[in-house]
Amino acid sequence: MSTHAGAPTSAPTSAPPSTDQSPPEDSARFRRNLVKVMSMQVVALLALWWLQARYAS
Amino acid sequence: MHPLNWAIVVAYLLYVVIDGLRAAKGTKEIEGYFLANRSLPWWAVGLSVMATQLSAVTMIGTTGQGATDGMRFVQFYFGLPIAMVILGVTIVPFLHGAKVFTAYEFLERRFDAKTRSLTSFLFLVSRGMSCGTIIAAPAVVFSAIFGWPLPWCVALIGVPTVIYTMIGGVQAVTWADVKQMFLISGSLIAIIIVLLVKLPVSPDNALRIAGSVGRMTPFDFSFNLSETYTFWSGILGGTFLMLSYFGTDQSQVQRYLTARSIPEARSSLLMSAYWKIPLQALILLIGVLVFVFYLFQAPPLLWNPAHDRSVRETRPAAYAQLESRYGDAIARRTDAALRLSDTPRSDASAALAAEGFRESEARVTAIRDEALVAAGEVTGESARDVNYIMPRFVLDHLPLGLAGFFIAAVLAAAMSSIAAELNSLSTATVIDFYRRWVRPEASDTHYLNVSKAATGVWGIFACVVATYAATLGSLIEVVNRFGSFFYGSILGVFILAMIRRATARGAFVGLLSGMACVGAVSFGLPQISFLWHNLIGAAVVVLVGLALGGNPGESSPART
């Protein structure tokens, strides 16, 4: 059974402690997902715009 | 409600608790209890993020808002996809990569202990209170509709949630969220089908009728700081609110800290971003269709049955007269709606038919306003009854069995949000305070037991708050408004954490300045909508923090 040392676990630093070390294929997947998400938003906004244009008096 | 509907609700409650107890078997260590050993797949985390955000307030409040106010509330969510993408490339890698339990733990590594403790404390206060309002929303409605005492309704929602969250930890919370999300989506789809089948006009004409009284206007491009739901407040204020909520609120951060890796954590957020606007638009559209449905079915004068009883008993003659006038106005509105529906769009008399419908709708609204004033005077409570429209529709008009599924879905939506909040409140209490200041050295078993106890205590606290928060006005706005006091300022601290020259002193003083500024704006300029408070808070913290920051490369004061 492990025990935990109490925080602070490390000294404060002036630089951010962590950066993304994702492999290239993960970055590519993220970009693909990003394109899908933004496309979906554009479609949703266009659909809402069409609803307003057609039905709002 | 029919016994079959109750059987469905009870079966659901038992299933959630038993499933939560089953999840507890794999949770023996604190990392498993709080973070599922960082082992969950992205889709489960994504559904959990969505379920947590989709509370009972959304199920009953947003649909009600759609019925009374139309589609414009959807603008509130326009900033969400933008915020998710920004978080995916900024805060998520830092927090997940730092292997922290809480977002605030990261702030101690970057700045100092007091910044961590203050932000965590603000989270505990705001989330502890909002957790109570999230329980209160459906509890108040159930209490009025079923005639049960409010504390029973609070217990009905709170007790099963506390049990499975306390025993099962984040594993139970996440997997319950996944199932709850399916239940919620299924019941929403079923309601749409029922509405489309029951409407006496075509969907095209239904939307045309709704549009003629301003309910089909999802975009408002006016730049008005006092208007809460506009395109600009959604895109700018909404983005900052969502950045704050998903980037710094432990109840959300903890969802994606359970993901297997940084890309999986990012994907879970993108999944939520993908569905959010279409899902919210669909929920509002259900409300709009319910409005149209009640054009052809006599709606009650007051949606809150408890208020209806009170006014009827206290002022019988005046109320009967109001009801008589209301009945006439409703009949005229139905005729006007049918006339508008029967008039072809290209017909010269179409504008006249639309105008006639608008006038009849205005008459109905005026009589209802009189009834609401009377309800407020008689009960001494807020007479706003938007949250009762959907439950009344479900109980009065849905086929047998489906009403039970909807009530179960409302409970599911409430439980998923409450469970995530209780779990995160317990995490912040134990990790940021108990382990940090009270008992730094102890075994995992000890921390696990304290965590379970903390979950139980927060559960009881939330139930007590829910009992007293019951008389608050529009609960959906109360929850968002309350968070806006702190969210923007906390986001500002996290932005500073990613700027090299920011120092611990700048972050702490900036945080205090941001909150003071939001407080001053909130009380001094109440006409500014609360959505802008997040932007103001974050901007003040960053500006003050940078003004007090050192030069690039200079050490933080805490290190010297």
Q: Is the CB of residue B168 less than 8 Å from the CB of residue B27?
A: yes
Partner-chain residue, chosen from B78, B94, B274, that has the shortest CB–CB distance to A18: B94
| Domain B3-294+396-468 fold | Sodium/glucose cotransporter (1.20.1730)
Report the DSSP beta bridge partners of residue A3. B443
Q: Is the CB of residue A30 less than 8 Å from the CB of residue B191?
A: no
User: What per-residue confidence (pLDDT) applies to B435?
Assistant: 94
pLDDT mean over B79-87: 91
Is B204 a residue whose pLDDT tops 70? Answer: yes
Angle, nearest 10°, between helix axes B80-89 and B262-293? 170
**B456, amino acid identity:** G
pLDDT in tens, B231-276: 998 898 889 888 888 999 998 899 889 988 888 888 888 888 888 8
Compute the distance between CA of residue B49 and CA of residue B47 in angstroms, rounded to an integer: 5
Q: Is the CB of residue B173 less than 8 Å from the CB of residue B420?
A: yes
Instruction: Select from B4, B8, B3 the least CA-distant residue to B412.
Output: B8
Compute the distance between CA of residue A9 and CA of residue B52 in angstroms, rounded to an integer: 30
Q: Is the CB of residue B249 less than 8 Å from the CB of residue B35?
A: no
* Cβ-based contacts of B210 with chain A (< 8 Å): 55
> What tokens does B386 get?
């938007």
**B532, amino acid identity:** W
Is B362 a residue whose pLDDT tops 70? Answer: yes
Compute the distance between CA of residue B184 and CA of residue B319 in angstroms, rounded to an integer: 37
Phi–psi pair at B298, nearest 5 degrees:
-60, 120
> What tokens does B335 get?
């005729």
User: What per-residue confidence (pLDDT) applies to B551?
Assistant: 57
> What tokens does B248 get?
């710094």
User: What per-residue confidence (pLDDT) applies to B479?
Assistant: 60
Q: How confident is residue B474, by pLDDT bands cut at 50, 70 and 90?
A: low
pLDDT mean over B405-423: 88
Between B279 and B141, residue with greater pLDDT: B279
Distances from the Cα of B249 to the Cα of B68, B235, B284, B519, angstroms: 31, 20, 26, 20
* Cβ-based contacts of A37 with chain B (< 8 Å): 81, 84-85, 270, 273-274
Is B12 a residue whose pLDDT tops 50? Answer: yes
- Report percent pLDDT > 70 for chain B: 94
Is A5 a residue whose pLDDT tops 80? Answer: no
pLDDT in tens, B372-400: 999 999 988 778 888 899 999 998 998 88
User: What per-residue confidence (pLDDT) applies to B26?
Assistant: 65
Distance from CA of A35 to the nearest CA of B (A): 10
pLDDT in tens, A9-27: 444 455 454 445 566 676 7
Angle at CA of residue B136, ends B130 and B138, nearest 5°:
120
User: What per-residue confidence (pLDDT) applies to A4?
Assistant: 38
Between B206 and A56, residue with greater pLDDT: B206
Partner-chain residue, chosen from A3, A38, A56, that has the shortest CB–CB distance to B211: A56
Distance from CA of B365 to the nearest CA of A (A): 19
pLDDT in tens, B417-458: 888 899 999 999 999 999 999 999 889 889 999 999 999 999
User: What per-residue confidence (pLDDT) applies to B158?
Assistant: 92
* Cβ-based contacts of B207 with chain A (< 8 Å): 51, 54-55
Q: Is the CB of residue B384 less than 8 Å from the CB of residue B69?
A: no
Is B218 a residue whose pLDDT tops 60? Answer: yes
A35-39, B149-153, B318-322, B343-347: which has the highest mean pLDDT? B318-322
